Amino acid sequence: MLVLYPLKLPWCSRMGYHVPHAFSYLAAASDAAIGRATAPGGKKEGGAPHKNLKIIKDEDVRPMMGAFVRSLGVQCTYCHVQSNFASDENPKKETARMMITMAHDLNTKFPDGKTHVTCYTCHRGKSIPETDPPAPMQQ
Ligand code: HEC
Ligand code: HEC
């Protein structure tokens, strides 16, 4: 599954099968809603602990950032200022937070509890998704 769908968001793909994790995600989201910049519980990965997580969990940072880069066809600095990943100075980072929440909300509308909508579903390797279908082919 993960090999076939490498762009699935880790917290989404777990949600369908692992209800407690889904609840811990919701708890993290409500922390964000009340403006607390806490890293939701869970073990730290190697290296410095993350300082400014409002939505995602510590251990999801690495796989999710990789998925963002591949889904939007961008570099890390598209959303981050150089060499300070915790900074919110780049406004694309806040847009990305809104998108994470939006994708999560869309997935909760599907009755089967599975992850159907990821960043890649809309973005397809572009920072701004295409809205209009291609023009009709010339005969
Ligand atoms: C599409 C935008 C986007 C891209 C591209 C992106 N990030 Fe992020 N990154 C975010 C967002 C949003 C957060 C904060 C998530 C939250 O608040 O829970 C974040 C958080 C982080 C953090 C945690 C910082 C802290 O201390 O709080 C690290 C580290 C990080 N990103 C590394 C990377 C790396 C490395 C890359 C490139 C491989 C990358 N990011 C690409 C949006 C992005
Ligand atoms: C339902 C479709 C959809 C999904 C899912 C989606 N996006 Fe977007 N995203 C858009 C659209 C449409 C725009 C362009 C909005 C505009 O033109 O202002 C956009 C714009 C953005 C931008 C700003 C690009 C720019 O240069 O202004 C970022 C960053 C972004 N999305 C990140 C993400 C991330 C990260 C995910 C996955 C967590 C995601 N998006 C999931 C539709 C989506």
64 close to 12: Cβ distance less than 8 angstroms: no
| pLDDT tens, residue by residue, 111-137 | 999 999 999 999 999 999 999 999 998
Q: Assign 3-state DSSP to the chain and report helix, strand, coil percentages, each to 5.
A: 45, 0, 55
Tell me the CA–centroid distance for residue 20 and ligand 1, in Å. 24
Assign 1 a pLDDT band (cuts: 50, 70, 90): very low
**Whether the CB of 29 sits within 6 Å of ligand 1:** no
33 Cβ contact partners less than 8 Å away, ≥ 6 residues apart: none
Would you state the pLDDT for residue 25? 38
Q: The tokens of 138 are what?
A: 């010339």
User: Which is higher by pLDDT, 61 or 36?
Assistant: 61
Sign of CA dihedral 106, 128, 74, 81: negative
Assign 27 a pLDDT band (cuts: 50, 70, 90): very low
Cα 42 to Cα 24: distance, rounded to the nearest angstrom: 10
Tell me the CA–centroid distance for residue 128 and ligand 2, in Å. 6
Helices (H), the chain: 10-15, 19-33, 61-72, 91-108, 119-123
Write down the domain spans for the chain. 10-123
Assign 16 a pLDDT band (cuts: 50, 70, 90): very low
**Whether the CB of 21 sits within 6 Å of ligand 1:** no
Would you state the pLDDT for residue 46? 54
| pLDDT tens, residue by residue, 104-115 | 999 999 999 999
| pLDDT tens, residue by residue, 41-100 | 444 445 568 999 999 999 999 999 999 999 999 999 999 999 999 999 999 999 999 999
**Whether the CB of 64 sits within 6 Å of ligand 1:** no
Amino acid found at 75: Q
**Whether the CB of 55 sits within 6 Å of ligand 1:** yes
The alpha-carbon radius of gyration of the chain (Å, integer) is 16
